[in-house]
A and B are shown apart, each in its own frame.
Chain A
C-alpha cells in the first residue's frame, strides 16, 4: 500500500498544481498557449491516476475476494492486434488466426494491454508469438524487459512510470493466475500462459 500511495502522489501533485495554476490565470489567458499546456498536463496526470487506480483496484480484488468472470473462447490474434492498434504499439503478431484460449475477455484484455505496453515501453517494436507448452497456450512478448522480481513486487519494476503503468505488470500477473495460467519474465520479454479453449466439436449439419 505504501508503494501505491507513493505512485499516486506524483500525478496527484501535477493534477492539483496544473488545475490551480489554470484557476489563477486570467479568463482571457486560459485559451492561450499556457492555458492549453496546463490543461494537457492536468489531463495526462488524471489519465495516469486512472490507470494506477484501476490496476490497483483489480489486483486487490483478485487477491482478496476474487471477482466473478465469464470464461469463453477468445481468439488471441484478433485481440492482440486490436489492442496493439488501440494503444499505438508496433507489434508483429505471429499467432494462428484460429487459435483460441479460454479466458474472461475483459480480464485477458487488461493483461494483454499491460504486456504490450511493458514490452514496447512506448517505442520498442514488439514481437508476439505462440510457443509450444504443456501448460497451455504460451504467448511470448519479445521486446523491452523488466528488472527481476518486478512481476511480484511492483516497486522493483518501473516506479514513477510517467504513463501510469507502475502497477500494470503486477496486475497482469494476478490476472494470469486468476485465469488458471501464469506470467513470467524472461531475458527478452514476457511469457503469458493461458488455458487453451476446448477443441470445437464436430459441426452439426
Chain B
C-alpha cells in the first residue's frame, strides 16, 4: 500500500457492522472494504457499544435478531448516550421496515438486499472516499 493509499484510508469513513451471523458480517465488511470504507465488526449489541466507544463510527449497519443484546436494545442504549447522532441502517432478515422505523433508524435493508442497494444507502449517509477503493489486503 502506497503512502497515498494509507493517507486516503485514514480519511475513509468508518462503518460499524453489527450481525451475529459470521458469514454475513464477513460478506458485508468485504463489500464495504472493496469500496474503500474502513469497517469495524460486532457480533451483538453489547460488543457494538464497546466498538462505538473505541472507534466512533460514522454509520452503523445493525441486525435486529442477535443474542446477548439484540438490535432494538442496542439502539435504545445508544439513544440514551451522547452518540445518538450516529445514523443506523437496519439490515435484517425480518422484512418489516416498521421495526426499523420504531428504532429511529435512517434506513432499512431486507436481506437478501442487492450489493448496490447497500452501497447506495451507505454512501448517502457516509460518502465513500473520492479517490476510489483500495482493499486493505492489496
Chain A residues with CB under 8 Å of chain B are 6-7, 9-14, 16-18, 20-21, 33-34, 37-38, 41, 44-45, 159-160, 162
> At the interface, yes or no: B22 with Cβ under 8 Å from chain A?
yes
> At the interface, yes or no: B123 with Cβ under 8 Å from chain A?
no
Identity of the chain B residue whose Cβ is nearest the Cβ of A161 in the assembled complex = B21
User: What is the CB-to-nearest-CB distance from B51 to chain A, in angstroms, rounded to a whole number?
Assistant: 20
A17 and B94 contacting across the interface, CB-CB below 8 Å? no
A159 and B65 contacting across the interface, CB-CB below 8 Å? yes
Identity of the chain B residue whose Cβ is nearest the Cβ of A159 in the assembled complex = B65
Q: Known contacts being A34-B137, A41-B23, A160-B21, is A9 close to B111, with CB within 8 Å?
A: yes
B1-35 vs A, CB cutoff 8 Å, 1 = contact: the mask equals 00000000000000000001111101110110010
A10 and B34 contacting across the interface, CB-CB below 8 Å? no
A17 and B115 contacting across the interface, CB-CB below 8 Å? yes
A12: chain B residues at CB < 8 Å are: 111-112
Q: Known contacts being A16-B112, A34-B137, is A160 close to B23, with CB within 8 Å?
A: no
> At the interface, yes or no: B101 with Cβ under 8 Å from chain A?
no
B23 and A6 contacting across the interface, CB-CB below 8 Å? no
B23: chain A residues at CB < 8 Å are: 10-11, 14, 41, 44-45, 162
Q: Is the interface of A mostly helix, strand, loop or mixed?
A: helix
9 tightest A-B contacts by CB?
Answer: A13-B112, A9-B93, A13-B111, A14-B23, A17-B27, A9-B111, A6-B93, A10-B21, A12-B112
B42-83 vs A, CB cutoff 8 Å, 1 = contact: the mask equals 000000000000000000000001100000000000000000
Identity of the chain A residue whose Cβ is nearest the Cβ of B28 in the assembled complex = A17
Point out which of B20, B21, B23, B110 has the most chain A C-beta atoms below 10 A from its C-beta. B23
User: What is the CB-to-nearest-CB distance from A53 to chain B, in angstroms, rounded to a whole number?
Assistant: 16
21 A-B contact pairs sorted by A residue (CB < 8 Å): A7-B93, A9-B93, A10-B21, A10-B93, A11-B23, A12-B112, A13-B24, A13-B111, A14-B24, A17-B115, A18-B27, A20-B115, A21-B30, A21-B31, A34-B137, A37-B30, A38-B30, A41-B23, A41-B26, A160-B21, A160-B66
User: What is the CB-to-nearest-CB distance from B98 to chain A, in angstroms, rounded to a whole number?
Assistant: 15
B21: chain A residues at CB < 8 Å are: 10, 14, 160, 162
A38: chain B residues at CB < 8 Å are: 30
Known: A10-B111, A13-B113. 19 other contacts (CB 8 A): A6-B65, A6-B93, A6-B94, A9-B112, A10-B23, A10-B93, A11-B23, A12-B111, A13-B112, A16-B112, A18-B27, A20-B115, A21-B30, A21-B34, A33-B137, A37-B30, A45-B23, A159-B65, A162-B23
